[in-house]
Amino acid sequence: MTTQTMHASCVAWGDAAVLIKGAAGTGKSALALELMAYGCVLVADDQVLLTCDTGSITASPPPTIAGLIEARGFGILTAGYKPNAKVTCVVDLDLTTTDRIPPPRTVTVSGCDLTLFHRPIGVGIAPVILQFLRAGLSER
């Protein structure tokens, strides 16, 4: 079992979590807040502890920032949070796509392969991520 800290945000729907990564100012916390408005629960913001064990990754917050999320222009907000959740996908806000139906993408994090999504240009992605967390990609 290995643990690493990643500069990212993470929210969960049930036990399925999305890891949101990208450079400073790309909107990681804003996307996490939007997903929380749709019913997701905060796991961690700004720093996420990732533990890889038996082929899956569990995300959790560092104790010092558990239940805190930054809202640019407002400050630090408090929120209920999950102490851990299984990461099922990664959204990389640094990467964009114009593909209508992109090819399947994966990224390896701590030795585990996860579904990877790029930011579609001109499309709000929070509802899409939420639906993925709820039901996954179609096999058809």
Q: What is the CATH number of the domain that holds 62?
A: 3.40.50.300
Task: Decide if 139 is inside a domain.
Answer: no
Tell me which residues of the chain have a pLDDT lower than 50. none
Q: Per residue in 58-99, pLDDT tens? A: 999 999 999 999 999 999 999 999 999 999 999 999 998 888
The boundaries of the domain holding residue 68 are 2-134
Q: How far apart are CA 13 and CA 54, in angstroms?
A: 22
Q: How far apart are CA 8 and CA 29, in angstroms?
A: 8
Q: How far apart are CA 89 and CA 57, in angstroms?
A: 10
Vertex 35, ends 34 and 39: CA angle to 5°? 120
Task: Decide if 140 is inside a domain.
Answer: no
Instruction: Record the pTM.
Output: 0.94
What is the domain count for the chain? 1
Predicted confidence at residue 99, as pLDDT, reads 84
Task: Decide if 95 is inside a domain.
Answer: yes
